[in-house]
Structure 1
Amino acid sequence: MDDINFFDKVYQVARLIPKGRVTSYGAIAAYLGTKGSSRMVGYAMQAAGRADPPVSAHRVVNRQGLLTAKFHFGGDLMAQLLRSEGVNVIDDQIQNFKEVFWDPTIELQL
């Protein structure tokens, strides 16, 4: 992945998040070896609508399971997408966060 820009690396990881699971900006940053770049992962997710192939950006949340990027989806769409995959979301908070959390550093072997 060395020849790929940072956003594309983020998208490659985000595309691997299984349906019904979520990860955090920080978990993606840590997996990419840039632990302090959670905010940059967030910027990548903001631009993910233009990515090809598509990125399931709704599966990336903050470290507490809050849907902090929901306004980028418009209305309640982010929560609706997660609910359609079986994720329990109430008031923009994932209720079973520990159970549905997908950690790329564990799930993906470098």
Structure 2
Amino acid sequence: MREDFVEAVLNAVESIPAGQVASYGDIAEFVGAGGPRQVGSVMSHYGGAVCWWRVVRADGRPADGLQERALALLAEDGAPIRNGRVLIRQARWQGPRRVEPA
């Protein structure tokens, strides 16, 4: 995986404010490369040092295996949650239209 793509994804994720979320596809759009699966791969390998819980599936569900911890952190952030999902229409980060690779 290209280092510039990894850094762009991590920089975009770090920019998500508390109480807001972005989908994996949103992050790919923001960085202008890859897709949801590639962003998910970056997050699973390198995302531990950034606010990973603010990246969710398009339907508002956190990543498999991390749901309980992610939902607790999202609740601390003030994100709107119902039935184990972030209300993505209310909490979606509109973020930068493009994050240039470092």
Equivalent residue runs for 1:87-106 within 5 Å: 87-95=79-87, 97-106=88-97
How many residue pairs end up in the alignment?
Answer: 98
Give the alignment's TM-score, normalised by structure 1.
Answer: 0.76
What TM-score does the superposition give when structure 2 sets the normalisation length? 0.81
CA RMSD of aligned residues (A): 2.2
Counting aligned pairs with the same residue, the percent is 29
Which of these two proteins has the greater Rg computed from alpha carbons? 1
Find runs of 4+ consecutive structure 1 residues off by over 6 angstroms: none
Residues 1-110 of structure 1 correspond to what in structure 2 (within 5 A)? 4-34=3-33, 37-47=35-45, 48-49=47-48, 54-67=49-62, 69-71=63-65, 73=66, 76-95=68-87, 97-106=88-97
Larger relative CO (CA 8 A, sep 6+): 1 or 2? 2
Structure with the bigger percentage of helix: 2
Q: CA deviation at 1:102?
A: 0.2
Structure 2 gaps of 5+ residues are none
Mark the runs of 5 or more structure 1 residues left unpaired by the alignment: none
